[in-house]
């Protein structure tokens, strides 16, 4: 499962890269190709280095001390030590929706945030499973992967918008861009980029589920937590505000209410499938051993 998810992510990132380079070369030649690459690197860099500050601010999270949340500190410290990684910073968001996320460009700059809502509905094992999932995002370098995917998708959209101003595809009078080609660029470019970006995000969620379950050695606890979190997010969806939408892909469950065709653009895979995979993982791993 881990190898499959990794190969899928690499293939999707490669496809995004191919689209951006093809589009850049199409209406700018080698110059357009260079511009596309430079813009992509700049956008990726900004997103990568400031993702933690953006996400924590969007959820109005505050740092917490060990005295405030001793049990949370204990389980995070134990799991980080087990993974031979440094202790991340801990934050709590005042949001009553049950959710959690991890951010930071590497384990040395990582932060884990839980909402007040999640601490009230999960037991010790379930919360430990969630923490294992979030730490796995950091250890799997998913923040970097998400930043690259978002940057590439953004550049494709930017290049598509530039199609209004740069002649591409030829025209009958050579006075402007071919409007048919422009419309295709404007619609299909961002659409394809968005679908691929969301597919990458869903693949990384599956990977974090598997890695987190391995870290905690308790896939059923994470499966149980996901069921409760899913019910909570459906009952209390967050408002679709720009400040929240920018960080939705980081959370363990989609914080918004979605359905129908929106599933194609969902940052998270279906909860039923995630639970099914975890239960299958537990069935194949034998008795669960965990320490409290």
Residues listed for the chain: 292
Q: Confirm or deny that 205 is annotated as ligand binding.
A: yes
Q: Confirm or deny that 133 is annotated as ligand binding.
A: yes
- Of the candidates 241, 247, 217, 208, which has an alpha carbon nearest to the alpha carbon of residue 99? 247
CB contact set of 66 (below 8 Å; sequence gap of 6+): 73
CB contact set of 3 (below 8 Å; sequence gap of 6+): none
- Residue carrying structure tokens 């051993």: 289
Return phi, psi of residue 114, to 5°. -120, 150
* 134 given a catalytic annotation: yes
Cα–Cα distance, 267 to 100 (Å, whole number): 15
List the catalytic residue out of 68, 78, 126, 134: 134
- Of the candidates 132, 122, 113, 121, which has an alpha carbon nearest to the alpha carbon of residue 218? 132
Q: Confirm or deny that 268 is annotated as ligand binding.
A: no
- Of the candidates 196, 210, 272, which has an alpha carbon nearest to the alpha carbon of residue 2? 210
Which pair of structure tokens corresponds to residue 2?
Answer: 């881990």
* 62-63 vs 89-93, strand pairing mode: antiparallel
159-166: long-range contacts (C-beta < 8 A, 24 or more apart)? 159/20, 159/23, 159/24, 159/27, 159/36, 159/185, 159/189, 160/23, 160/185, 160/186, 160/189, 160/190, 161/186, 162/27, 163/27, 166/27, 166/28
Cα–Cα distance, 31 to 18 (Å, whole number): 16
Annotated binding site: 133, 137, 205
Question: Which residues are catalytic, by number?
Answer: 134
Annotated binding site for Zn(2+): 133, 137, 205
């Amino acid at each position: 499962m881990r190898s499959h998810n990794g190969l899928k992510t690499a293939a999707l990132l490669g496809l995004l890269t191919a689209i951006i380079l093809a589009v850049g070369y199409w209406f700018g030649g080698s110059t357009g190709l260079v511009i596309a690459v430079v813009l992509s690197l700049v956008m990726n860099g900004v997103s990568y280095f400031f993702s933690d500050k953006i996400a924590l601010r969007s959820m109005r999270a505050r740092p917490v001390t060990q005295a405030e949340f001793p049990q949370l500190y204990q389980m995070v410290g134990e799991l980080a030590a087990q993974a031979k990684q440094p202790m991340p910073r801990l934050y709590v968001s005042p949001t009553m929706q049950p959710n959690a996320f991890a951010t930071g460009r590497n384990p040395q700059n990582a932060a884990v945030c839980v909402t007040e809502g999640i601490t009230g509905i999960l037991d010790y094992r379930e919360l430990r499973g969630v923490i294992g999932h979030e730490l796995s995002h950091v250890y799997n370098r998913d923040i970097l992967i998400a930043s690259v995917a978002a940057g590439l998708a953004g550049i494709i959209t930017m290049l598509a918008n530039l199609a209004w101003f740069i002649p591409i595809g030829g025209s009958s009078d050579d006075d402007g861009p071919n409007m048919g080609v422009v419309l295709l660029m404007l619609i299909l470019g961002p659409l394809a980029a968005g679908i691929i970006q969301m597919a990458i995000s869903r693949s990384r969620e599956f990977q974090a589920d598997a890695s987190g379950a391995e870290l905690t050695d308790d896939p059923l606890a994470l499966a149980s937590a996901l069921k409760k979190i899913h019910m909570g997010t459906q009952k209390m969806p967050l408002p679709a505000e720009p400040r929240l939408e920018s960080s939705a892909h980081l959370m363990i469950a989609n914080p918004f209410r979605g359905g129908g065709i929106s599933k194609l653009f969902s940052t998270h895979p279906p909860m039923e499938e995630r639970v099914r995979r975890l239960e299958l993982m537990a069935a194949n791993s034998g008795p669960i051993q965990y320490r409290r």
